[in-house]
Structure 1
Amino acid sequence: MVEIINKEWLAHLPMEVVEDARGPEFDAYLIALEGWRRGLTLKWHVKDSEEFKDMKTWFDDKPGKLFSLSSETRTHYFFKTRGDMVSNEAVEIGANKEKTKEYLEKKGIVTPRGKLFSLDTSEENVIEYVKQLDFPLVIKPLDGSFGRGVTTNIQSIDECKDAIKMAKSVPNPNGIIVEEFIQGHEYRLYVVGDKVVGAIQRVPANVKGDGKSTIDQLIDQKNHIRSQNPRLISCLIKKDQEVINHISKQGYNLEDILPDGERLTLIEKSNISLGGDPISVIDDLPEKLKDVAVKAIHSIPNLPHGAVDVMLGNNGEYVVLEINPTAQIGSLLFPKIGKSSDVPAEIIDFYFPETSRKGRLNDVLYFDFSDVLFPLLTYSAKITTVTPIPKGTIYMKKYHVVGEVQRIDYHRGLRKMAFERNLHGMVINNEDGSINIVVAGTVEEMVDSFIHDIEEDPERSVVEQINSSNYDQPIKVGFEIKNDLKKQIELYNYIKKEYDLTELELRKAKKENKILSASKAWKVTLPMRVLGDLIKKYYK
């Protein structure tokens, strides 16, 4: 039985609006888009920008994680979901699991019982401490994320020894933590100020049997469903050794057929990045859990917003596992099941309370993320400013045009006329030879009268029929010229072929150059060539 994924996400964030921002830039794009739609000035910055020299950042070589939002009176800077009102001290505390525990426990917040060991601590000394605890245990690196180096539900001394090696194997672990493994339900809550604004239960990766499909096939089916989710598309379930070992402990292998209705856990960890399911619980949170999350955030100095991971133990006790000042929020907006939480709106409310998300008329507009980042990727600019969003009511029309209307120069003419009238939209080729033209703008007369512009280029088109209709789908600012899917595929295949040929020629040239460089004649004439280069430089 193939599971159905939740599609009841926020109406102003459909797939086409967010699909260009998959991966590490996803969260930054969500916050930036919300601010831009409210009329704030949005700028994207490269790594080492002067504006970010005092903010702790990482893995920001590729543009798309550093941005600023400005009103008429002030500017705030963001790294992914973290704004400049979060202190570097808070970031450092959140990155260090032992320090986090110290701050939490000072405020009377329950954390798992455990101990930090330096990397040079012998395995024997760690095991001596393990004997003071009750199984199950968890062993993890001091500094880590995405579940890397973490071993959970450890049931024996031998498993502890393997887990110690695993924790030390990750880059820069800076120590290992041994602590009790809390069994129960795990939650991630996002707090802004004094309010929980998003919450999910994190369920470890799993599949449900249909009595016909193998476990291997069920994983493929589930990954297909996850690929339709803007957040989960970057977090597909891997059939790695950890998964194989875990299902083996339950008496299965990948080729076994799972009985109808049986649910099989594939991995112990609940991380979304490792295939976990985010289940929204924002409307079902007990007040005590909300209080624990808010209190946990407030226990860290100068941390006005961030994520809290909390375990509800089987004994009914809430235990805080960790705090993340730079948390991913995609699974809160795009849960597998349940209601989406508009965390970006809450964060922008916090930084720019004078802006409003109520009654906005331009949530159909968005910007081309790839185009905006291109100058930064090509090193032609250090800062790029996104075209401001049009202010006022947005009027939209779709025109279906039949005739000889697919010439690219005709389409460029349409784009030129749209720009002259301050209109946004696109022209799309259809396989039957017709085109669809979508235009949007703040002046209704301009949008309606564009039907006349469509017929004003008889030299490059023969328009036989125009049908107009209302349009309510998202539109990028600017004006796009799109091919139909078939032509896009043909163009992609052509470009790929040219690229492959170029790569082949480059490898061939490198090989020939290597052979030439190793030849006796090349070595003998080296002094003459060096002297020649010096003479050329001298007479330049």
Structure 2
Amino acid sequence: MQQTFAEATWPTAFSSDIVRSAFGGGRLSSYCLALEAWRRGLEVTYTRADLHCFTIADGERRVAFDCSRPDSLTAAEDHARLDSKWESKRILGGRGIPVPRGVLITDTDLTDAQLAAHADAIGVPLVVKPASGSMGYGVSAGIRSVPDFISRYRHLVATYPDQAVIVEQHIEGDDYRVLVVGDRVVAATHRVTAHIVGDSVHTVDELVSRKTADRKANPYLSSGPTPRNDDTAALLDEQGLTWTSVPAAGRTVMLARNASSSLGGDTVDVTDSLPDAMAQAAVDAVAAMPGIHIAGIDFIHDPAGTGGFAILEMNSRPHIPLNMYPTHGTGPDVPRAMIDHFFPDSRRSGRVADDSLTLSLETVQQTLLARRASAVTLMPLPGHGLPARLEWTLPPVATTILRRLTRRKLLWRSAAHGVSGVLRRAKDGQVTVMLAAEDAAACRGFMDELVEIVREPFGLPAGVVLDDPVPWDGPVSVGFAVL
């Protein structure tokens, strides 16, 4: 089963409710991988307070990850070689893998004549970009004149004064991110430049606000709002529009020049329709880089014209949610593919209820931030998977204040019953309790104790009888919390 959102379908095992605590942040990749491993019964240990770095172990093998990158399996120099846009380009070109022709400029203090000579040698249109970096920052593409190239080059050098610069051929086509794990393409995404479509009713500003609201529901795109800046205003002006214009129905209005999803772009899953030649080039590219097990590979592809393609760059630590949470199409289950690769002897349990198991990492993060431990290993998931899941609603109470000692007693008794769950206190005095355990009897046994523990502080009458519980199908994490 999968979660469907608007025109997209996302993996049910990593639905928006399950990964909400990691929404939009750099830790979404690590969260999804750690969750997949933990559900399989593998040992997960966090080693850094930002929760980007963690290890997964099965008793025989231990792999240390930095987000999606298996650091312990690849030497630092191998990662650096892949992440170097120029070095990877040189290696791929030497293997006959298509890359744009270009030049690396390390001494960036060039005259206009020297820059013009580079432009003439490569030929317009051009791309100018920092030699390192990600997410489309600093990239100018589609430069069609030498004066424009010189202007954008000087702006880039002023913005990134310590960076070498790559000037290369601009190849017309669509932007693709292909994810390779081992020797297999596991996902491919077409990145579409940020835009809106008119409806003859709403202004540009209103349509942009609506699109930004839609993006906030996407676990990956929620941190990349639709652009609203001076560059956007200039691009609107080129299209004869302003923020208050009402575009005609069906008219496409461009909002950016770069297809990066972090700059407001959309994402379309094309895993099943990726041309065989591109898939093979992606696999060959990873094989050409020593020691690399996973890479995100950025292609430019011209499906409507020649059908040609070229690799623009590679990333050793790709954001796997980019592929998992498209705005259109079906997002592949990347964590499953990755853990299958690195721990092939592990398997999912096959229990449907496991899809709603999630991780609560606040205490882990607090412990690492306070430097009370250098590493924190998660409690393993009980073998039964907490199949009994029930929710109770208490009668309205006058106060929801609980002393620290009372809260601790609830934690102790929940552990004694083998029960996980949460007690939620709303500002209006409504209290709900969600419990999960091996069977309903364990849930009911702890619930009886819970009512006695909170009776006095909540002002519950003696002999209060609770309504029967209802099934709970929301997220479940191991442990008990009072919220």
How much has 1:203 moved relative to structure 2?
0.2
Amino acid at match of 1:104: L
Matched, 1:341 2:343: no
How much has 1:406 moved relative to structure 2?
5.6
Name the structure 2 match of 1:496.
none
Equivalent residue runs for 1:92-131 within 5 Å: 92-118=80-106, 119-131=108-120
For structure 1, the 5+ residue unaligned runs are: 47-61, 483-540
Amino acid at match of 1:373: Q
Does the 8 Å CA contact 2:400/2:425 hold for their aligned counterparts? no
Equivalent residue runs for 1:357-436 within 5 Å: 357=348, 359-360=350-351, 362-394=354-386, 395-402=388-395, 404=397, 407-409=400-402, 412=407, 414-429=410-425, 433-436=429-432
Please, which of 23, 35, 38 is the counterpart of residue 36 of structure 1?
A: 38
Hey, what's the Cα distance between the residues in 1 that align with 2:92 and 2:234?
35
Select between 456-465 and 32-41 the one with higher mean Cα deviation.
456-465
Q: Deviations over 1:429-470 (max 9, x none)?
A: 356644321111234531344454355455453323322122
Q: 1:76 to 1:157 in 2, by over 3 A?
A: same
Q: Percent identity, aligned pairs only?
A: 28
Q: 1:7 to 1:454 in 2, by over 3 A?
A: farther
Hey, what's the Cα distance between the residues in 2 that align with 1:124 and 1:466?
82
Does the 8 Å CA contact 1:90/1:325 hold for their aligned counterparts? no
Equivalent residue runs for 1:423-502 within 5 Å: 423-429=419-425, 433-457=429-453, 459-460=456-457, 461-462=460-461, 463-482=464-483
Output the aligned Cα RMSD: 2.2
3-state DSSP of counterpart to 1:132: helix
Hey, what's the Cα distance between the residues in 1 that align with 2:126 and 2:266?
23
Does the 8 Å CA contact 2:129/2:138 hold for their aligned counterparts? yes
Hey, what's the Cα distance between the residues in 1 that align with 2:397 and 2:209?
44
Select between 126-135 and 300-309 the one with higher mean Cα deviation.
126-135
3-state DSSP of counterpart to 1:397: strand
Name the structure 2 match of 1:298.
287
Q: Deviations over 1:360-391 (max 9, x none)?
A: 45332222223211122233332222222222
Amino acid at match of 2:374: K
Hey, what's the Cα distance between the residues in 1 that align with 2:238 and 2:456?
73
Hey, what's the Cα distance between the residues in 1 that align with 2:204 and 2:268?
22
Equivalent residue runs for 1:200-349 within 5 Å: 200-313=189-302, 314-349=305-340
Hey, what's the Cα distance between the residues in 1 that align with 2:308 and 2:215?
32
Please, which of 139, 151, 160 is the counterpart of residue 162 of structure 1?
A: 151
TM-score with structure 2 length normalisation?
0.90
3-state DSSP of counterpart to 1:402: coil
3-state DSSP of counterpart to 1:35: helix
Does the 8 Å CA contact 1:66/1:80 hold for their aligned counterparts? yes
Which one has the largest radius of gyration?
1
Does the 8 Å CA contact 1:189/1:196 hold for their aligned counterparts? yes
Name the structure 1 match of 2:60.
73
Hey, what's the Cα distance between the residues in 2 that align with 1:455 and 1:157?
76
Hey, what's the Cα distance between the residues in 1 that align with 2:227 and 2:482?
38
3-state DSSP of counterpart to 2:365: helix
3-state DSSP of counterpart to 2:212: helix
Q: 1:416 to 1:6 in 2, by over 3 A?
A: farther
Does the 8 Å CA contact 1:35/1:69 hold for their aligned counterparts? yes
Q: Deviations over 1:84-108 (max 9, x none)?
A: 2233233212222111111111221
Amino acid at match of 2:54: F
How much has 1:44 moved relative to structure 2?
1.5
Does the 8 Å CA contact 2:19/2:358 hold for their aligned counterparts? no
3-state DSSP of counterpart to 1:354: coil
Q: 1:403 to 1:271 in 2, by over 3 A?
A: closer
Does the 8 Å CA contact 1:37/1:362 hold for their aligned counterparts? yes
Amino acid at match of 1:227: K
Does the 8 Å CA contact 1:406/1:435 hold for their aligned counterparts? no
Q: Deviations over 1:170-189 (max 9, x none)?
A: 44653211111111122111
3-state DSSP of counterpart to 2:235: helix
Does the 8 Å CA contact 1:97/1:143 hold for their aligned counterparts? yes
Does the 8 Å CA contact 1:362/1:392 hold for their aligned counterparts? no
Hey, what's the Cα distance between the residues in 1 that align with 2:258 and 2:319?
17
Amino acid at match of 1:11: T
Does the 8 Å CA contact 2:82/2:316 hold for their aligned counterparts? yes
For structure 2, the 5+ residue unaligned runs are: none
Q: 1:434 to 1:95 in 2, by over 3 A?
A: closer
Matched, 1:144 2:129: no
How much has 1:472 moved relative to structure 2?
1.8
Q: 1:406 to 1:159 in 2, by over 3 A?
A: same
- Count of residue correspondences: 464
Q: 1:290 to 1:19 in 2, by over 3 A?
A: same
Amino acid at match of 2:274: L
3-state DSSP of counterpart to 1:264: strand
How much has 1:270 moved relative to structure 2?
0.7
Q: Using CA pairs under 8 Å that are at least 6 residues apart, name the structure with larger relative contact order, 1 or 2.
A: 2
Name the structure 2 match of 1:18.
19
